[in-house]
Amino acid sequence: MTQADDLRDRLRQALPAAMKARDRPAITALRSALAAIDNAEAFDPDEALAEGLLGELEPAGWEPAEPDDAEVDPADPGHAARPGLAGPPTFAGTVAGVGATEVERRGLTPKQVEGIVRAEIETLEVAADVLDGVGKHEHAERLRAQMRVLVSHVNEAPPDNETPPDMDAGPVA
């Protein structure tokens, strides 16, 4: 188990306990952080295009239309809904076949996962300060409670049988 998985697992394990305790700030903070981590792992089509992978994701037989092609009627189910495209009938540019749209999620390093959670903490802190500035002290305190939940999980030390990677090298002379 990597340290990234460890932090993510700590957040995931804390969520059912927070739900059982009906701890709204903890539930909100944990769900938000886990969603941010999951979103960061999502497939990025811009990155795939830059790496030349997007061509593999296009439907078989798809070709750009010639510029002099007639206007495509969006009501005609046998044609693509956008003018300028020709090819097999599609629905919103989908790809046919089992697993045709499956792509591998990006892996995150422990530092990236921690950075995502710290960014969530920073966002909560800034929002709480803004709310305090406009007199919404109760709402600001709720955001600070969410922030404290995330800080407690980020600052939680790894179990005794696991040493963080940066501590393996020993003292530097």
Break the chain into its structural domains and give their ranges. Answer: 3-43+108-154
Instruction: Give me the pLDDT at residue 120, please.
Output: 96
Instruction: Give me the pLDDT at residue 158, please.
Output: 58
Q: Please list the ranges in the chain whose pLDDT falls under 50.
A: 1, 81, 160-173
CATH number assigned to the domain with residue range 3-43+108-154, chosen from the 4 options 1.10.3720.10, 3.40.50.1100, 1.10.730.10, 1.10.1510.10 = 1.10.1510.10
Helix (H) or strand (E) holding 86: strand 85-86
Instruction: Give me the pLDDT at residue 156, please.
Output: 79
Exposure b/e, 130-150, CB count within 10 A at least 16 = b = ebeeeeeeeebebbbbbbebb
pTM of the model: 0.60
